[in-house]
Amino acid sequence: MLNRALAHQAEHWPFIERAYHWVHQLAHILANEEQATGAVVQARYHQLLQDMRAHRDEWGPLSEALDHLLRVSASQEAHLFFCYDHSGIPATNNDLEHCFGSARYYERRTTGRRGAIPGLVVRGAVRVLAALATLAQCFLPYGLFCEDLAAWQQLRQQLDYRQEGRRRQFRFRKDPEAYLAQLEAVLLKPSLPT
């Protein structure tokens, strides 16, 4: 059965071999064994994609797959190369998903909850980063000093905004009639004093 399937697709093998060669080159560039910077890797990647586009006729029946690869690469290219300049950023989605999975694991261990943790909705940006940072190193009190006060204040403002939204949801669930009556009173209040 395997021999019949291979014989049936025999005319596609030369195209598959050429496509494999191109894709293997892309993988080699992204592996970055030379430890080049993100800009260098991006330039190599972009050049190879241009070469692939120029030799589109060599792909034969796989040209639609090439078009898809080029389209996806163009849409994601701006976000592919940060990991080469910053060692703390995972290179693949699997590595990134592992980071989030370990953060969820430690949240469940510390809170005792088995399901989703509501606090991650409001404070997720801070809690996930804190969980990942504490896995990497132990912080001493002087290491927690805030160097960028404006960024910290902006983050606090975002967290307070999300927390207020959660408070309103709770108030509505607790007593919907009173909550809606309060909203109506605010909306129906005349804007100018009489």
Q: Give the predicted TM-score (pTM) of the model.
A: 0.50
Q: How far apart are CA 120 and CA 57, in angstroms?
A: 50
Residue ranges of the domains in the chain? Answer: 2-85, 90-139, 146-194
pLDDT confidence bin for 118, thresholds 50/70/90 = low
Cβ atoms 88, 78 nearer than 8 A: no
pLDDT tens for each residue of 22-46: 889 888 888 888 888 888 888 898 8
Q: Would you say the C-alpha torsion 182, 185, 186, 188 has a positive or negative sign?
A: positive
